[in-house]
Structure 1
C-alpha cells in the first residue's frame, strides 16, 4: 500500500470585527490605567528594595533599553519563572501561554517547535518549512525549524517581540520574534550547579562556570543534560520494533570567550552543540470519540499499540563571533554565525498496528499502514551582519547595516513496511534546498521634545531559493517537474511614536510591515511540486506602559490589528491523503494584550498576563479536502470531499491565553527564606486544521504548577520540591488527518525536587 509521507499537527483561532484606526487604538490605550488590570511579564523579578520591582532592560531594538520606553509589545521571561519551568526537564513548548498571544506546538516531540504569535504561525511539518515567527539565539537567526528547538539554559532571559519586526530582524518575522540571550562571561570567578530529579526517572542537570583568564579575557562554559526513562509501553499484539517509548537523553553545551569588555574593541566568541536521542512524537490511533473531541473512555496515557519503530536522533553544532569597535560617537558591529544540524525522526504515523487489508489491526480501524521518517543532513547555515550604531548624546540616534544569509541542506524522506516486511525500508527520496538572502537596513530615533520621541526604519531584502528532488525508488508526481526556483525583493519597515504623559507612564503607537519569503513544496506521490509567493503583513498597534505606586506595580497593555496578504497555508491529509501548499488572499487578526507585575505586600508578588486574539481567513474561493473520519462543520465545496474555509480562524490560534504566577516569601531571622510559588496557564480551544470539525478541535486547557522552596547561605543555596500539571489534565492537543481519529496528547502530571548551588 502506498503511504503518505510524514505527519503533522495543525491548529487554529477565531473571527473579526473591522479595522480600528490608530486614533481609536490610542484612545483606548489612554483609558487603560483607569481600568482593572491583569497581566505583565511572567518574570518573578527580584527587587533591590523589598516590595519594589527592578527595571526590565531589553534589546528588542538591538541596544539595551528600558522596556517601558520601547514602542512595541514586549514580554520577557527571566529568573525564577524561567528556572521553575526548566527544572522538570521540559523542552521549549513549556513557554507556550506564558506570555500574551504565544502558542508553541510540535508534531515532532522535542524537535521542531512551531511558534505562533497573535494567532499567526505556520503548521507546516516539512523540514524546509519557514515560519513567520523568527527565533534569534545570541544574535544569530535559527532559520531551519530543527534549529529552533535548541534548549534554554544559563540564560539572561527570553524576549517575545509581538508584531512585524521588518527593520532590524528582517525576513520571516511578520508575526514577531522570540529572542534568547545567554549569560555572558564575567570578570569574576563563579558559577552555579543545579540538579533536578522527578517522575519517570527524569533528571535535569544544569550548570555554568565563569573563569576570568586575565584582565582582558574572560570565559564561560555552560551545560545542560536532561534524561527521562521510557515510561510508555507498546502493547500491540504483533511483532513490535519499539517496546518502551517516550524516554530521551538531551544534552547541550555552550562555551564563550570574551575579550576586551568595556574597551574600544571587544570580541565575543560562542561555540555550542546539542545531541538528542529519544522518542519521536507518539501518534495514537482512534483516541478521539467520534462526534466529540473527548478522549475515548479506555484511554491510557502509558500505553500505545504500534507495529512500527519509533526513534528520534538530532545533533547540531554552531559558532558565532561578535566583534565591536567603539569610536567617537558611534560603534561598529560584525556578527558572524554558523549553524549545522543533522536529524532523523521515524514514527508509526497510522498510530496503530496491522491494517484493514492485513488483520489483525487496532486499536479500532486502521485503513492502511503508514510508517515514515524524515532526515536532515548536509545542513549548513552562514550569516553575516555588519551594523553601525550611534553613541553620541543628543536627540538623534541611528543604526544601519547590511545582512547576508546562506543555507543549503538535503532532506531525506523514508518509508517503511512493518506489516509485510518486518519494518524494512521500502522507499527513499532526497530533496536539496538552497537559500540565499541579503538585506540593507536603517533605523532612526529622534526626540522631538523631552516627552515625545519618534522611531522609523526601513529594510530592503532580496531572497532566492532553489529546490530539487531526486525521487530515488519512490514514484512521485513529476507533472510540474522535480525542481523549482523562487526569488523576490521586498521593502519593509516601521514607524512608531512614544509620548511620556507623566513620570513612569508612556503611551505609544506603531505601524509596521513584515514579510515571509516564498516557499516551495517538493513533488510527492500525491502532489506535484508547488510554490507560493511571499506573504506580507501590515500591523497597527497602540498601547500604554506604566510603573505605579513607587515601583510596586508595573502595567503594560496594547490593542492591535493586522492584515496578511497571500498567507502561505499548508493543507494536509483528508480523504485524498494530500499535502498542499496554499495561499489565502487575505487573513486578519486583532486583539488585546495586557500584563501586570505587582507587589501586593513586601513578600507577595503577583504576575498576570493575558490576551484576546481574533483571527480569520478571508478567501471565498479557498477550499481544502476534509478529513476521512471526522465531522466537518464547514460548507461543502463543489468537488466532493472539499470544504470552504473562508471565515475560519487560523490553525493553532487560541482566542484566549492567560497566565498567572504568585510568589509568597517567608524571610527568616538568619537571612534564609522559605517560599511558595505557583503558576497557572489557560488557553481556549484551538483548531488543529484549516477546516473546522467536531473531533479535530482541541479542548480548552488549564495547567498549573507548584513549587515549595528554601533558600539559605546569602542566596547561594536553594532546595525546592515541585509539581507540573498538578491537576493531571490530559487532552488531545494535536492530530494526524489522513487515516483515522489519530491524535497526540500533552504531558501528564510530574513531581520532582531540585537543588541549586551558587559559587
Structure 2
C-alpha cells in the first residue's frame, strides 16, 4: 500500500471511531438526568474563550485577528510523550514547526513564513513571547513551557503591539500567575524509553491581598534509545554502542512573587532557571535514495556515526522579569523589564553517517557554542481602562541583545597525529542587536455593532557582527580568513528603520456572529550570517523585508455548543529573506524580490452533549517565490549533484532557478482533529477516551524542487484513555503518542541526502491532579 493511501485509511479510521461514538454518547446523555443540562441546570456548553491578542482580555469572538488558542491541559497532553513546544505543530491551523539542531533550536512557521537557517544568530519572522517577554534569540525561543495557562497563536503581522520581527505572527505562552487563593496542579507521565515528564505548580497568598507566590517546575527525561552501530576507527575518538543517542534531561524551575501593596498597584517579580542536556538532531545519511522519497528503508533507532562523540548538546539559561501595573483609574501604566542569559553548545556529526560506509568520503562534524548571551528588554505601555466605546493604548519598547558565539569545525576535534588536525579551526563572533520602537493603537465602537481599530509602530533595528577570532592555520601563525579574503570586512553593521501598521473592522451581525477584515504592514530587520567565517568565507547579509497582509473572516457561535471561526488571507513579502547553502553546506543569506501567498484557515469546536467534545481545524495555503534572477545552490558533493533537481539549472547543474517555487516548510494543507468521550461510571467518576490526529500535505523542505526533499501525507495519531473523578480534580490514564509509529520526514541535509525524522511512538501512563 502506498504511504498516501495508508495515511488516508488511518485518518478515515480515526474519524470513523470518533463519529461512531456519537450515538452512544447521545444515548448515555438521555439515560441519565445528570447528563442533561436542562434537567440539572449545569452548563454543557463550550464556555467563553478569553484572549489577550490586543493586550487586553477579550472574548476571542470579538477580536479582529486570526487567533487560535491551545489550553494548558491540551498542551500537556501533547507533551506527555516527552515533546517540547514543537508539539504545537499540526495542532493549530497554519502553524508548522521543526528543528535540525535538537531541542535547543525550534523553528516556527505561520502561514508558510519562517526561516530554515540553522545559524545560531538567525532571525525568525515568528516571534515567541512568554509572559509578555519577547524571546528573540533562537536558543531563548526553546525555553520550555510549563505550568502553562494557555497558548495563543496570532496569525499574520502583529507589529503594532508586540515585540519585534513579527511579519509572520506570534506564539504567546502565558503561565499560571500567583493568586489570592492556594491552588496547585501536577501532571506526571512515564512511558517508552523511560520517558518521564513531571510538570507542576503551586501557589497562593503569603500575606492575604498583599503578597502571593507561585513555584513551578518541569522535569523531563528520556534514555538514549538510538544505537550507534559503527565499530571502526574514528579520527576523533568517537565510539559506537547500544543506546548511545536520542536521550535528554530537562530540569526547569520558576518562582513568581506578586506584590499588591495597594488596590491600584501590582508588581509581579519572576525568575527562572533551565538546565538541559541531551542529543542534538540525528541526521541519517543516504536515507533518501536518489530519485526517491521513501524513508521507510532507513531504521529510526540505528545509525552509524564515526565522529562527533554521539552528538551531545547542553545549555543553561537564567532569566527574570518585573511586570508592574499602576491603575490610575482612567488608564493603567504597565512596565515590563526583563533579562535573559544563556550559555551552552551543540555538537553533531553533520554528514550523518560513517564515511567508511560511503567510500571513505564525506567526513564532517561541527559545533556551535554560545559563550554568553545577554538580552535586556524594556516596555512601557499606557492603556485606557474599562469597556468604553473608545479604547486606546500607546507605549515604547527597547531591546538589547549581545552575545559571544563560537563555531568549531572538524579539524579542531581530531585526535593528535590525525591528518587535518587543526586546534585553531574555530571562530569567535561578537553580535550586538539593538532595537527601539514607539507604538499606539485606538479602537472605536460605533452603535454597538461596528468596531474600527487602527494601530501603528515605528521601529529601528540595528545589528553588528564582528569576527573576533578567525580560523588560524595549525601552527597558529596565519589568519586564514584574511589570507583567503584580503578585501572582505571582518565587521558588518546593518540598520533597518520601518513603520508597521494595521487597520481592522469588526461588524457584529447579531450576538452569535461577526465578520471582520484586517490589513496590516509588517517589518523584519536586516540579518547577518556570520557562521560562514569558520569556512573562511565572507559574511552574507540580507536587507530588511516587509509584508502587506490582507485577511477577512467570520466568527460564529450560534449556540453555546458550537463555535466556528474561519479566515481567508493573502499577503506579499517584499525583499523576502531566504537562506540557501553554499558548497560547504553552510547557510547563505540573500533577498528575493518578493513572495506571494493566499490561503484559508478554519477551526470548529462542537459539544453536542456534555459527555462528548469534538474539535476540527484545517488550513490550506499556496505560496510562491517570485524572482527570475535568483538561483540557489543545490544538493551537491564534490561538485556532483546528489539529488534529482526538477527546476532549471545553471553552472553544471549546481544552481537551480527557484522562481515560482513554494516557500520551504509551508505545507499546502494541514488538518487537526480531536475528540473526547466521557462515560459516567458512578457518582465517583467517569471513564473517558480521547484521540487526536494531525495530517500534513505536500511540503517542500528546500528552496528548489526535487524528487527527494519533500514531505507528503505526514500523519500522527494520539490516543488517551482513563478515569477522572466527578469533580475533575484527578485523572489517571494510559496514552500513546504517534500510536502507529509513523516515520515522517521533517528535514534534510541536502549534500548528504540525509533525513531527519519525527519522534517515535511513546506509550505510557499519566497521572494528574489539582487542588484548590
Distance apart, 1:471 and its partner CA: 4.0
Which of residues 585, 593, 598 in structure 2 aligns to 1:590? 598
CA contact (8 A) 1:526 1:578 kept: no
Does 1:144 find its partner at 2:145? no
Distance apart, 1:296 and its partner CA: 5.8
Equivalent residue, structure 2, for 1:386:
380
Does 1:194 find its partner at 2:187? yes
Distance in 2, Cα, partners of 1:398 & 1:673: 47
Distance in 1, Cα, partners of 2:58 & 2:586: 48
CA contact (8 A) 2:456 2:502 kept: yes
Aligned residue pair count: 702
Equivalent residue, structure 2, for 1:533:
543
Distance apart, 1:716 and its partner CA: 2.1
Q: SS where residue 213 of structure 1 aligns?
A: strand
CA contact (8 A) 2:296 2:743 kept: no
Does 1:232 find its partner at 2:226? yes
Distance apart, 1:528 and its partner CA: 1.5
Which of residues 569, 587, 590 in structure 1 aligns to 2:578? 569
1:295-694 map, 5 Å: 295=295, 297=297, 299-308=298-307, 309=309, 310-354=311-355, 361-362=356-357, 364-365=358-359, 367-417=361-411, 427-474=425-472, 475-476=480-481, 478=485, 479-522=487-530, 523-524=532-533, 525=535, 527-549=537-559, 551-573=560-582, 575=583, 577-628=585-636, 629-637=642-650, 640-694=653-707
Distance in 1, Cα, partners of 2:713 & 2:537: 35
User: Deviations along 1:521-569, whole A, 9 cap, x unmatched?
Assistant: 22422631222210000100000001123x1100000100000001111
Distance in 2, Cα, partners of 1:253 & 1:375: 23
**Larger mean Cα displacement after TM superposition, 379-388 or 145-154:** 145-154
Greater RCO (CA < 8 Å, at least 6 residues apart): 1
1:51-200 map, 5 Å: 51-200=44-193
Q: SS where residue 81 of structure 1 aligns?
A: helix
Equivalent residue, structure 2, for 1:726:
739
Distance apart, 1:698 and its partner CA: 1.9
Distance in 1, Cα, partners of 2:767 & 2:715: 28
Distance in 1, Cα, partners of 2:757 & 2:423: 28
User: Deviations along 1:69-89, whole A, 9 cap, x unmatched?
Assistant: 000100010043222112111
Q: SS where residue 181 of structure 2 aligns?
A: coil
1:15-30 map, 5 Å: none
Distance apart, 1:303 and its partner CA: 0.7
Equivalent residue, structure 1, for 2:254:
254
CA contact (8 A) 1:293 1:699 kept: no
**Larger mean Cα displacement after TM superposition, 256-265 or 74-83:** 256-265
Distance apart, 1:582 and its partner CA: 1.0
CA contact (8 A) 1:232 1:302 kept: yes
Distance in 1, Cα, partners of 2:384 & 2:764: 49
- Residue 505 to residue 671, structure 1, CA distance change in 2 (3 Å): farther
**Larger mean Cα displacement after TM superposition, 422-431 or 508-517:** 422-431
CA contact (8 A) 2:686 2:726 kept: no
CA contact (8 A) 2:715 2:744 kept: no
Distance apart, 1:251 and its partner CA: 1.1
Distance in 2, Cα, partners of 1:280 & 1:366: 24
Stretches of structure 1 lacking an aligned partner (at least 5 in a row): 1-46, 355-360
Q: SS where residue 582 of structure 1 aligns?
A: strand
User: Deviations along 1:408-455, whole A, 9 cap, x unmatched?
Assistant: 001100123577757985611011100111111000010122100000
CA contact (8 A) 1:437 1:461 kept: yes
| TM-score normalised over the length of structure 2 | 0.88
Q: SS where residue 759 of structure 2 aligns?
A: coil
Equivalent residue, structure 1, for 2:287:
287
Distance in 2, Cα, partners of 1:513 & 1:170: 15
Distance in 1, Cα, partners of 2:261 & 2:760: 45
Does 1:716 find its partner at 2:729? yes
Q: SS where residue 747 of structure 1 aligns?
A: coil
Distance apart, 1:393 and its partner CA: 4.6
- Residue 170 to residue 226, structure 1, CA distance change in 2 (3 Å): closer
- Residue 742 to residue 593, structure 1, CA distance change in 2 (3 Å): same
In angstroms, what is the RMSD of aligned CA positions? 1.8
**Larger mean Cα displacement after TM superposition, 517-526 or 268-277:** 517-526
User: Deviations along 1:376-433, whole A, 9 cap, x unmatched?
Assistant: 1220000000100001453111000011110100110012357775798561101110
Distance apart, 1:207 and its partner CA: 1.1
Distance in 2, Cα, partners of 1:529 & 1:157: 40
Distance in 2, Cα, partners of 1:627 & 1:499: 51
Equivalent residue, structure 1, for 2:9:
none
Stretches of structure 2 lacking an aligned partner (at least 5 in a row): 1-36, 473-479, 637-641
CA contact (8 A) 1:415 1:426 kept: no
Distance apart, 1:60 and its partner CA: 0.6
Distance apart, 1:229 and its partner CA: 0.4
- Residue 262 to residue 667, structure 1, CA distance change in 2 (3 Å): farther
User: Deviations along 1:140-195, whole A, 9 cap, x unmatched?
Assistant: 00000111111121111110000000100153101000000000011112212322
CA contact (8 A) 2:335 2:380 kept: yes
Equivalent residue, structure 2, for 1:7:
none
Distance apart, 1:640 and its partner CA: 4.7
Distance in 1, Cα, partners of 2:224 & 2:318: 27
